[in-house]
Structure 1
């Protein structure tokens, strides 16, 4: 299968390559010679365990989801990866946008010297692109670095919030954020009862190819499941033959394989609004009224769905799922 390489203008989608930190949370305390207690923080993730003497004061976030969560937890972020598609460089779903000066790092090409110059106390890389994960040894020499817990794009958003909350010394705020997210989801499902049990397919049309998310473990799948939706069985079946970063490629002649999905959510970079895609006779025949073209911003945010972006996701999804 051809590896999915999204256009530069939607690097959001390249996030499909490596995600999330791990949890091995353990907070303890130690005493110094003066008898004052200093908090000690440990976090275990896929690359090992980091230790911080106290809550970090200078945070660098090198994944879009890390930026969203750090914002929601009120972290002191001194550097973050920029959204190349947004004028202010912030990522959709970030609760409190950061100043453009903070959004100074490239989202796909790590600049080790620039990160070191920020003098971070911790580097958050739970939703970082693979290029950053490949640089883990160099990053960890700059500051303790947290990556995914299990594998790329496989941990839940709740798990990531717990991990980052622990790393930042903000476990209570993390629990509150998760609770708030669950409440918002509950209110959404009560107000939109037809969503429960709805089958869906979600993907992106780019380069004349349709890429469908077929992994049950991806944050977007987990999020849509929390709304009561179900990944269409035919899509899940396609994924059993293997996926690339959770995605499978579907050729036009096979679109009818997923015509059973009640909602087909597709983003179309380069064709915002999907006019050309929707007008394709094969698309019209296979999907009809089931097709909902969604923005690349929403599609990207879904890929790293987490409690910090819940309000944004629900607001944007509401019309598509009506």
Structure 2
């Protein structure tokens, strides 16, 4: 099944999310009043007004925003990483915990004195059925951040009636986490802090990856393998943060992907299972809803012909939270993921070497 708007995962993820979905969680009073006690943006007021260009034009933020709302993945994480507690953010249905949040967000919220369940926590709204316009409006935001998102023109126009909206620069779900961080930093008057955060995160990733030299130079395909679907295979392009992460640690996207996605503005392409044997790479990385799916891939008459599957160099991640941490990469999620994800890649790299 091909990835859908439901956070850039294959439609199988929607089914998984439905099973794991948490009911929409709203913390604090319905009028968003709890967030008035949350830490305000600590940016520099003299940096305003700022003008941010994006896919739908440009947005002017006249003064330092005090009440910051976010939609979609990544944006709330970056805001928190910069030390600001949003008045509202999406709840995490896919990969979320009992708080409809993630371990890395929970840790940062606690550090900032705004743990979920307390009166200083952000309001959370479910986006399982699309953007929660009414709930976003109820937080009375000064700005709405969507630097990494899948906003349509209609979504953007609707949100813009609530507050100024900072959308993605070019491609839906295609903003590198570094660029999302810089854009959000500018919107919050924290441009210098955002640059420092990017540098620190990149250094953390590089230092951890250095412990796994066998990964360097290995070719990869990052996609989704679903034996239960007619299509069978989706491949993430260079526009997606998953392949970007693997390239950042020294891996090389396979030629078959580069050749078939050159010039594409999409974050994925569909690939026929009938041509699975053409997907030549040292390692194939996929997320799966459960361990049974991994076994089904290995036993599938077509998908088992993928060279990396044949060689045992398949990385099949059944942990939805880990999948989310890489798929929605950001300065909070990446350090959390490294100790688990890098050993999985290293094991596959060893298998590829025979």
TM range (shorter): 0.7 to 0.9
Select the residue among 144, 155, 162 that pairs with 2:164.
144
Larger relative contact order (CA 8 Å, sep ≥ 6): 1
Structure-2 residue corresponding to 1:165: 185
The superposition leaves residues 219-257 of structure 1 with CA deviations (integer Å, 9 ceiling, x where unpaired) of 2222221111111111222324967x3212223332111
Once residues 262 and 213 of structure 1 are traced to their aligned partners in structure 2, the CA distance between those partners, rounded to angstroms, is 15
Structure-1 residue corresponding to 2:142: 121
Alignment of 1:104-253 (within 5 A): 104-130=125-151, 134-206=154-226, 207-208=228-229, 209-240=231-262, 245-253=266-274
Contact residue 51 and residue 60 of structure 2 kept, 8 A: yes
Alignment of 1:1-322 (within 5 A): 4=4, 6=11, 7-10=13-16, 39-85=48-94, 86=96, 87-91=98-102, 94=105, 96-97=108-109, 99=116, 102-130=123-151, 134-206=154-226, 207-208=228-229, 209-240=231-262, 245-258=266-279, 260-269=280-289, 274-286=294-306, 287-288=309-310, 289-295=312-318, 296-322=320-346
Once residues 326 and 80 of structure 2 are traced to their aligned partners in structure 1, the CA distance between those partners, rounded to angstroms, is 17
Say which is worse superposed, 120-129 or 3-12, in terms of deviation: 3-12
Aligned-residue Cα RMSD (Å) equals 2.9
Contact residue 9 and residue 84 of structure 1 kept, 8 A: no
Shift of 1:272: 6.3
Structure-2 residue corresponding to 1:22: none
* Aligned CA distance change for structure 1 residues 269 and 134 (closer, same or farther; 3 Å): farther
Say which is worse superposed, 230-239 or 281-290, in terms of deviation: 281-290
* Aligned CA distance change for structure 1 residues 272 and 114 (closer, same or farther; 3 Å): farther
Contact residue 87 and residue 139 of structure 2 kept, 8 A: yes
* Aligned CA distance change for structure 1 residues 210 and 93 (closer, same or farther; 3 Å): farther
3-state DSSP class of the match of 2:100? coil
Contact residue 55 and residue 169 of structure 1 kept, 8 A: yes
Contact residue 92 and residue 301 of structure 1 kept, 8 A: no
Contact residue 267 and residue 274 of structure 1 kept, 8 A: no
* Aligned CA distance change for structure 1 residues 292 and 28 (closer, same or farther; 3 Å): closer
3-state DSSP class of the match of 2:58? strand
Once residues 258 and 104 of structure 2 are traced to their aligned partners in structure 1, the CA distance between those partners, rounded to angstroms, is 27
Say which is worse superposed, 279-288 or 157-166, in terms of deviation: 279-288
Shift of 1:301: 3.3
Structure-2 residue corresponding to 1:19: none
* Aligned CA distance change for structure 1 residues 309 and 167 (closer, same or farther; 3 Å): same
3-state DSSP class of the match of 2:74? helix
The superposition leaves residues 186-213 of structure 1 with CA deviations (integer Å, 9 ceiling, x where unpaired) of 2123211111111111112344243333
Provide the TM-score with structure 2 as the length reference.
0.74
Contact residue 65 and residue 305 of structure 1 kept, 8 A: yes
Unaligned runs of 5+ in 2: 5-9, 19-42, 110-114, 347-354
3-state DSSP class of the match of 2:210? helix
Provide the TM-score with structure 1 as the length reference.
0.81
Once residues 76 and 340 of structure 2 are traced to their aligned partners in structure 1, the CA distance between those partners, rounded to angstroms, is 19
Say which is worse superposed, 57-66 or 305-314, in terms of deviation: 305-314
